């Protein structure tokens, strides 16, 4: 369901960056603009925040050229495992090294919002149900937290999950 999202990402970012960011710095506002070109009918802002946070490695508020290249590299030619590690960082909203159910729900909701009116892409279950299902599948030791290991293992074992979380 998300294949189009990350497919669109590298090319769109490249475009936005070369045209609008002569100083090589991609700001959150530019980033959202770029996403809106691909998802005009949905609300992409929240999802963009999460993607931006993931790519802004040094947390200085913009994506510089080096971060940008790294992002392009991972999203276009990274191994499944590398992509999943990036996805894990996106889902781990507070950066404490584990994903809890609230973080999972938040991201899934943001993805749903972005897909918006694009109803053919939008699954029938709610974001909360979806997040719970993902969690149940991945949380091996039932401690209500997903470690990077559980996340990677869960995705690599389940193609459908993998496609949804890190297309």
**Closest CB to Ca ion among 119 and 142?**
142
Report the alpha-carbon distance of residue 93 to residue 91 in Å, rounded.
5
Q: How far is the CB of 66 from Ca ion (least distance, A)?
A: 8
**Closest CB to Ca ion among 7 and 64?**
64
Residues 6 or more apart from 99 whose CB is under 8 A from it?
A: 88, 91, 92, 145, 146, 151
Q: How far is the CB of 55 from Ca ion (least distance, A)?
A: 8
Residue whose C-alpha is closest to residue 50's, from 65, 24, 25, 31: 31
**Closest CB to Ca ion among 65 and 81?**
65
Which residues sit at the interface with Ca ion, rule CB under 5 A? 56, 58, 60, 92, 94, 96, 139, 141, 143, 145
Report the alpha-carbon distance of residue 30 to residue 149 in Å, rounded.
33
Report the alpha-carbon distance of residue 11 to residue 7 in Å, rounded.
8
**Closest CB to Ca ion among 105 and 121?**
105
Q: How far is the CB of 57 from Ca ion (least distance, A)?
A: 6
Q: How far is the CB of 21 from Ca ion (least distance, A)?
A: 13
Report the alpha-carbon distance of residue 71 to residue 54 in Å, rounded.
9
């Amino acid at each position: 369901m998300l294949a189009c999202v990350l497919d669109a990402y590298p090319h769109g970012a490249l475009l936005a960056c070369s045209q609008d960011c002569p100083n090589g710095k991609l700001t959150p506002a530019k980033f959202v603009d770029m996403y809106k070109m691909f998802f005009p009918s949905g609300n992409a802002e929240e999802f963009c925040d999460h993607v931006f946070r993931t790519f802004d490695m040094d947390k200085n508020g913009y994506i510089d050229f080096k971060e940008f290249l790294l992002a392009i590299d991972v999203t276009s030619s990274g191994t499944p495992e590398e992509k999943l590690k990036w996805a894990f960082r996106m889902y781990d909203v507070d950066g404490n090294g584990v994903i809890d159910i609230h973080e999972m729900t938040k991201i899934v909701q943001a993805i749903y919002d972005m897909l918006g009116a694009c109803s053919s892409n939008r699954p029938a279950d709610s974001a909360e149900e979806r997040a719970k299902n993902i969690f149940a599948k991945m949380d091996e030791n039932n401690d209500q937290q997903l470690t990077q290991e559980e996340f990677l293992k869960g995705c690599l074992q389940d193609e459908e999950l993998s496609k949804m979380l890190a297309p």
